[in-house]
Homo-oligomer: A and B are copies of this chain.
Amino acid sequence: MRNLVFRISYDGTAYHGFQCQDGQITIQSELERVLKVLTGEDLRITGCGRTDAGVHAIRYYFNVHTNSPIPCDRFVLAMNSLLPSDITVSDCREAEEDFHARFSPKYKTYVYRILNQRNPEALLCNRCYFYPIPLDVEKMQDACEVIIGEKDFKCFMASGGQVKTTVRHVTELTVTKKGAEVEIRISANGFLYNMVRIITGTLMQIGIGKMTKEDLREIIDNKCRKEAGMTVPPHGLYLYDVYY
């Protein structure tokens, strides 16, 4: 049996997240619907992770086991012609039999985009979190070193996350100003539920002067979700890439 790995992008605005849910249209349900049309098989795909409703993906990977003889490059063309235009396939290749999109990643990178100006901008409405209070990007950037490293990030996990350990290794965390946009980029070997959105909300508290770098250190030590910042909305979040 072939094990195919696909690289896709999606605009999450119109979907109830990646994963199949009864009666809801999700990225996964659209992909499996189209794969059934192409292969005639009832395939179950394995995504590299769940994304919530409204979250986007620049490079998302999934794998699927199939008996279909369709060549990889034809899969790309055929899927793009059948999928809605807010889900696109950019690559398909043969993988080792044991490749597993969810368990094989070494690390992942997410980007969170904030539009930090006085007025909102129509063409970024589902793409950036509009936040009119000026953010001190230097202070936010300076605080990043407190988060970088292998730590227990229980304080940045939303309730509902079920995991054996809340220790993760954050290898990269930067805050950059690009015109009126503030971009937060974070890489780690794994992420807890809503971790990027809570880290972003916490860094924003620092950016408006309601929290300090020392507070952040204590919050992590105390492992208390309530002390951290709010969970910022999903539409500013992008799964940027996954590294296997």
Contacts and interface: CB of A to CB of B under 8 A. Distances in A.
A1 interface: no
B76 A122 contact: no
Q: Number of copies of this chain in the oligomer?
A: 2
Interface residues of A, number: 22
Nearest to A27: B122
A180 to B, nearest CB: 11
Interface stretch (A46-54, A84-92, A162-170): A84-92
A22 to B, nearest CB: 25
A11 B125 contact: yes
A9 B121 CA distance: 7
A31 to B, nearest CB: 12
Contacts of A125: 11, 85-86, 88
Interface in A62-97: 76, 80, 85-90
A123 B60 CA distance: 13
A10 interface: yes
A120 interface: yes
Nearest to A238: B123
A189 to B, nearest CB: 26
A174 to B, nearest CB: 21
B89 A10 contact: no
Contact of A80 (B11, B87, B119): B119
Contact of A90 (B10, B119, B126): B119
Nearest to A123: B11
Shortest beta-carbon contacts, A-B, top 5? A85-B125, A9-B122, A88-B122, A88-B120, A10-B122
23 contacts: A8-B122, A9-B121, A9-B122, A9-B123, A10-B123, A11-B122, A11-B125, A56-B122, A56-B123, A76-B119, A80-B119, A80-B120, A85-B120, A85-B126, A86-B122, A86-B125, A87-B122, A88-B119, A88-B121, A88-B122, A89-B119, A90-B121, A123-B127
Given A8-B122, A80-B120, A87-B122, 4 more contacts: A10-B122, A11-B123, A80-B119, A86-B125
